[in-house]
């Protein structure tokens, strides 16, 4: 999701993917969110789930299990 907040082309591609998924009643998970600006741009485009360093750094299985249990979600984080 590099530069999705800055690039019109990348925003158009993300918007198209999100729109297609919505029309097919599918969930979209944005992968690789590293900054708040990326998250904000994706929320503005209609994306509701994401994952990446912005939410959590890589972790071992024990920490991942505790993280997921505390979040009570799957591995994708609600964005908005």
- Bridge partners (DSSP) of residue 8 are none
CA angle 15, 16, 17 (to 5 degrees): 95
Residue 62 annotated among the catalytic residues of the structure: no
Catalytic: which of 31, 34, 36, 62? 31
Count the alpha carbons within 13 Å of 5 in the hemisphere toward its beta carbon.
10
Q: What residue spans of 1-80 are helical by DSSP H?
A: 8-23, 36-44, 61-71
Active site positions, annotated: 31
């Amino acid at each position: 999701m590099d530069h999705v907040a800055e690039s019109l082309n990348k925003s158009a591609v993300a918007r198209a993917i999100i729109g297609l998924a919505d029309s097919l009643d599918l969930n979209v998970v944005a992968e690789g969110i590293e900054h708040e600006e990326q998250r904000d741009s994706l929320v503005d485009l209609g994306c509701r789930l994401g994952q990446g360093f912005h939410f959590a750094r890589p972790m071992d299985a024990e920490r991942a299990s505790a993280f997921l249990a505390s979040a009570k979600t799957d591995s994708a984080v609600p964005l908005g």
